[in-house]
Structure 1
Amino acid sequence: MIVRQFLQWLRNASPGERAEATSALARAYLHSDLSVDDLSAAEGAMIMLLDDPSPLVRGALAQVFASAQKAPPVVVHALAADQPEVAIPVLSRSPLLSDEDLVDLFATAQPDSQVAIASRALLSSPVAAAIAEVGCAQACLALLENLDADIALFSLDRIIERFGHLAAIRENLIARHDLPMASRQALLAKLSQTLAGFVSARHWLGSEHAEHAAREACEKATVALAAETPYEEIAELMRHLRQSGQLTAGMILRALLSGNVVLFEEAIAELTGMSIDRVSAYIHDKHISGFRAVYTKAGLPDAAYSAFREAIAALRDGILVGETGGVTRLKRRMVEHVLEACVAERRDDMASLLALLRRFAVEAAREEARMFCDDLVAYDPVANGHVGYDRATYDHTAYDHMAYDHTAYVPQIHEPRLVA
C-alpha cells in the first residue's frame, strides 16, 4: 500500500523531491521492519527508479546503497554501470561487487569511474592487474597511491611501460621500497627517452644528438644504480637490460672502467648463458685466451676487445689502488691507460671505440676535478685550526681509508661487492 502511494506521488514530483523520497525509500528498505511483500514492492519500485531521467534520483539510490551489504544486488550492479556521478559511490565502496564485476566494469568505465575502482580499499591483485593493463594514467596513479592495494610486480612493470614518462607516476614508483632495481632502471630509461624527446621537440638539439646524449646519460645512471643494487638482484638487473636491448658493449665497458667487476662479470654471464663461477674464472685466468673465447661467445664487437683486454690487465696490475669514489664513476687513470693502449694499436676498425674512450676520458677528468674541488671546499685548514697545513699530509689522510688491495679483484663470487 505504501509503495503504491509512493509510485502515484512520483508522477507529479520534481526531480529534487523524487530524489529525497527515493533516498527515504532506500533507507527504509535497509533499516525498517518491512513485511516480505513490502520489501518486494520496494525493490520493484527502486528497480523502476533506475530508469528515472534525473541523475539526482539514481544518485540518491547510490549514496544509500554504496556501502550496504543488504542492498538489492540488481540495483547495485545497475548503478555501478551508470554515469560517473551516479556510479562512483558504488564503485568505490560497494561490498557487493566481486573482483570479476570490477574487472568487467573497469574495461568500459570512464576515467573518473576507473579512479573510483582503483581507490577501493583492499583492492585485489587481479583487479590491480586489470588497472595496470588498460587503465588511464589517473587510474594507475590512484592505484599506486592506494596503500591497501595488492599490486604484483608485473603490474608495476606494466605501469612503467605505459606511463613511466609521466612525472607523477615516476616519482611515486621511485619512492616505493619494494620496487626491484630492474624496474628502477626501466624508469631511468623512460626518463632518458622523455628528456630526449623534450630537448629535440624544442630544437635545442637535433633528435639524433639528443637521443645519443640521453642514452649515454642512462648508461651512466645505470652503472651508478648497479653499484647500489644488492648482489642477489644483479643477475635480474642484467636480464632486464639484455631483454630491453640496453646491455651494450658501451655500457659494459663503462662498468669495467669504473671498477665495477661484479656488474662486468654478471653481464658476461647473462650474455653467454654461462655460470658466474665459470665466467669469473675465465676473466681472472692469467691466460687471456680464455677470456677471448668468453668475449666472443658473449657476442661483443671485435673492435672493442682491445679495450676490455687492457682494462682487465690494468686491474690485475692494481691500477685502481688508491682510487676514490667507489664503482659509480669512471676512473681517470684506467680510462687514459686503456685509451693510450688502443691508440697505439692504430687499427682502422677502432674509430668508434676511440671516440667512445675519448668521451669517457673527458667525463672521468671532469668527475675527478669536481671531487678534488669538493674536497678543497670541505677541508678548510684555517677554519679547523690546522695552521701548519701540509698538502701532502692532507692528501694521504683524506684518501688513505679509501685505498684497497688490488688482490680484491681475484674471483670472490660470494662477496656482495668488489669496490674500488
Structure 2
Amino acid sequence: MVEYSEFVRLSRSTDSDERGHAAHLAALAYLDHDGPADEHAALYAALIGFLDDPSVKVRAALAYGLLHSTEAPRPIIMALLQDSPIISRAILQYSPLLIDADLLSAIRKGDASIWLAIAQRTKISVRIAAALIDHGDDEIALLLLRRSDITIEPALLIDLARDHGTVAKWRGALLSRTDLPAPARLILVQRVAEALRETRIVRGALTADRLNRLLRDGADTAVSTIGEAEACHRRRDFVQDLVGSSQLNSRILLHAVVTGHVMFFASCIAELADVTRDKVFSLLENGSRAALSALFLRAGLAGELGKVLVRLVLHARTADLADDIAARHYVVTALTEELIADFEGAIPPELEETFAYLSEQNIALARRAARGVMKAFSEMTQSAMSLAALQGAPRLQLPAA
C-alpha cells in the first residue's frame, strides 16, 4: 500500500523513474478501484495529468498499466494512441478498447510499423484483415494468411491466389488455410503444375510427353477432387465457375467418373442440363440406358460422347471406383475394348480425344494396380516359379568391359 502523500511526492518528483512508478500505480489503482466515487475521480484526474508529463518513460508506464484492460478510460487510451511511436504501437497491438474505426484510421495514416502492430493483435476482424492486405505489404499479408484464427474474405483469397500464386511462399501460406475457397485452390494447383513443368530437375527426369501427361492427369484429379469436396457440401459455385469459364470439358467429366468422384460428376451434369442434382444422382444410380442418354443429350453431350458416358456409368455401377484401383482398371479396360470392337479399330474423330484419355488411364491404372501384386503373391505361396528350360547351344559369354 502507498499512502496518498507518498503518491503525491512520487508524482511530483524530478526523477522520471519515480514519476513513472507513480503513473503505473495510479493506473492499477484506477482499474482495481471499488471505493468512493470522489476517490475514483481523483485517480482519473491523476491519469490525465500524467498524459502531459514530458518524459516518454512516464507516459509509457501509464500505458503499460492500462494496456490490456477493457476497463481503461477510452479518452486516455486514445490520447496514448497519438503519443510517441513506441507507445502508439503498443496501444495498437494490445488494447482491447480499440474498435475497427480506430484501427482503420491508424491503417490509413500509418506506415509498415503501424500495420505490423495491428497485424499482431489477438483478434482481427474481416474488415481489418482486408485493409491490411490491401496495402500491399507482402510480409504483413503473409503474416495474416498464416494465422488460422483470422477470417479472410473468400473473394480476397481468390485474388491473392491469382496475383501471387506463382510465388512458393504465397502458395504455401494460402494452401495451409482450411477456409481457402475451391476456385483459389484450383488456381494454386495450376500454378504448382506450371512451376513443376519449369523445374530443371523435373524436366531432366522425365520426357516432355510423359511430363505433360502426368501434369495433365494430376490437374484433372485435382479438379475432380476439389469438386467432389464442394459437391459433398452442396456448394454450386465451383461447378458454376468451371462452366462459366469454359474449363469443364469431356476429359474432366470422364476423369470424375473413373476416379469415383460421382457427386462432382452429378453436379456438373446438373449444371449443364439445368436440372436438380438429386434427380441427376438418382438417374446415375438407377436410370435406364435411354434415360441416361436423354440426360446427357439435355446436358449438351450428344453423339458418340454421350454413348461413351452412358456405358461408363453402367460399368461404374458394378464397381467401387472411389477406392479400388483394380476396379478402375477393369472398367477402363472393358470400355476401351468395347470401343475398339464397335468401331472395328477405326475410332471416329469425335472420340479420338476420349479414346486417347482412356488409353492413358489404362496404362496408368495398370501400373498402379500391379504395384505390390508380386510381393503379396510371394508372401502367400511357397511354391517355386515354373520356368521353361533353356534350349539350344549356350550363348557366347563376353568378357566384362
Q: TM-score, normalized by length of structure 2? A: 0.66
Secondary structure of residue in 2 paired with 1:233: coil
Aligned length: 354
Alignment counterpart, residue 356 of structure 2, candidates 358, 361, 369? 358
* Structure 2: tracts of 5 or more residues without a match: 31-38, 387-401
Residue in 1 that maps onto 2:270: 269
Alignment counterpart, residue 295 of structure 1, candidates 294, 299, 306? 299
State the distance in 2 between where 1:254 and 1:131 align.
Answer: 41
1:5 to 1:224, Cα distance in 2 relative to 1, 3 A: closer
1:260 to 1:28, Cα distance in 2 relative to 1, 3 A: closer
User: Residue 375 in 1 paired to residue 373 in 2?
Assistant: yes
Match for 1:295: what amino acid? A
What are the within-5 Å matches in structure 2 for residues 114-125 of structure 1?
114-124=115-125
Residue in 1 that maps onto 2:101: 100
Alignment counterpart, residue 27 of structure 2, candidates 26, 30, 44? 30
1:286 to 1:230, Cα distance in 2 relative to 1, 3 A: closer
State the distance in 2 between where 1:338 and 1:104 align.
Answer: 69
Residue in 1 that maps onto 2:382: 387
1:226 to 1:368, Cα distance in 2 relative to 1, 3 A: farther
1:376 to 1:139, Cα distance in 2 relative to 1, 3 A: farther
Q: TM-score, normalized by length of structure 1? A: 0.63
1:265 to 1:171, Cα distance in 2 relative to 1, 3 A: closer
Match for 1:291: what amino acid? L
State the distance in 2 between where 1:189 and 1:61 align.
Answer: 50
Residue in 2 that maps onto 1:333: 333
State the distance in 1 between where 2:193 and 2:297 align.
Answer: 39
Is the CA contact 1:67–1:95 (under 8 Å) kept in the aligned structure 2?
yes
1:130-182 Cα shifts (integer Å, max 9, x gaps): 556667554455445556x463xx62553354157324413531xx4xx48xx
Match for 1:381: what amino acid? S
Secondary structure of residue in 2 paired with 1:381: helix
Displacement, 1:269?
0.7
1:273-296 Cα shifts (integer Å, max 9, x gaps): 212354457763433652353132
Is the CA contact 1:62–1:86 (under 8 Å) kept in the aligned structure 2?
yes
Is the CA contact 2:93–2:121 (under 8 Å) kept in the aligned structure 1?
yes
1:39 to 1:124, Cα distance in 2 relative to 1, 3 A: same
Residue in 2 that maps onto 1:169: 173
Secondary structure of residue in 1 paired with 2:45: helix
State the distance in 2 between where 1:71 and 1:22 align.
Answer: 20
State the distance in 2 between where 1:135 and 1:115 align.
Answer: 12
1:223 to 1:67, Cα distance in 2 relative to 1, 3 A: same
Match for 1:332: what amino acid? V
What are the within-5 Å matches in structure 2 for residues 14-413 of structure 1?
20=17, 23-32=20-29, 36=41, 39-40=44-45, 42-47=47-52, 49=54, 60-80=61-81, 85-124=86-125, 126-128=127-129, 130=131, 136-143=137-144, 146=147, 149=149, 151=151, 155-156=153-154, 158-163=156-161, 165=165, 166-173=170-177, 176=178, 179=179, 183-184=181-182, 186-197=184-195, 199-200=197-198, 216-226=217-227, 231-233=232-234, 235=236, 237-239=238-240, 241-242=242-243, 246-279=247-280, 284-287=287-290, 290-296=294-300, 305-316=303-314, 318=315, 321=318, 326=323, 332-333=332-333, 336-337=336-337, 340=340, 344-347=346-349, 350=350, 354-355=352-353, 357-377=355-375, 379-382=376-379, 386-388=381-383
1:139 to 1:189, Cα distance in 2 relative to 1, 3 A: same
Displacement, 1:196?
0.9
Is the CA contact 1:219–1:251 (under 8 Å) kept in the aligned structure 2?
yes
State the distance in 2 between where 1:280 and 1:168 align.
Answer: 36
The Cα RMSD (Å) is 4.7
Match for 2:191: what amino acid? Q
Is the CA contact 2:23–2:62 (under 8 Å) kept in the aligned structure 1?
yes
Is the CA contact 2:68–2:94 (under 8 Å) kept in the aligned structure 1?
yes
1:239 to 1:116, Cα distance in 2 relative to 1, 3 A: farther
1:262 to 1:338, Cα distance in 2 relative to 1, 3 A: farther
1:219-273 Cα shifts (integer Å, max 9, x gaps): 2222244556673436454345445654333312321344544322220112332
State the distance in 2 between where 1:119 and 1:211 align.
Answer: 43
1:328-354 Cα shifts (integer Å, max 9, x gaps): 87753156347646773533xx3xx62
State the distance in 1 between where 2:140 and 2:182 align.
Answer: 21
Greater displacement, 69-78 / 264-273: 69-78
Displacement, 1:372?
0.8
Is the CA contact 2:63–2:91 (under 8 Å) kept in the aligned structure 1?
yes
Is the CA contact 1:3–1:41 (under 8 Å) kept in the aligned structure 2?
no
State the distance in 1 between where 2:197 and 2:217 align.
Answer: 15
Match for 2:194: what amino acid? A
1:218 to 1:289, Cα distance in 2 relative to 1, 3 A: closer
State the distance in 1 between where 2:212 and 2:134 align.
Answer: 28
Is the CA contact 1:30–1:70 (under 8 Å) kept in the aligned structure 2?
no
* Structure 1: tracts of 5 or more residues without a match: 10-16, 392-420
Match for 1:387: what amino acid? Q
Q: Flag the structure with larger Rg.
A: 2
Is the CA contact 1:311–1:334 (under 8 Å) kept in the aligned structure 2?
no
State the distance in 1 between where 2:193 and 2:60 align.
Answer: 44
Bigger relative contact order, structure 1 or 2, given CA contacts below 8 A and separation 6+? 1
Match for 1:170: what amino acid? L
Match for 1:91: what amino acid? L
Match for 2:45: what amino acid? S
State the distance in 2 between where 1:73 and 1:252 align.
Answer: 60
Displacement, 1:94?
0.7
Secondary structure of residue in 1 paired with 2:257: helix
Secondary structure of residue in 2 paired with 1:262: helix
1:8 to 1:261, Cα distance in 2 relative to 1, 3 A: closer
1:259 to 1:57, Cα distance in 2 relative to 1, 3 A: same
1:92 to 1:211, Cα distance in 2 relative to 1, 3 A: farther
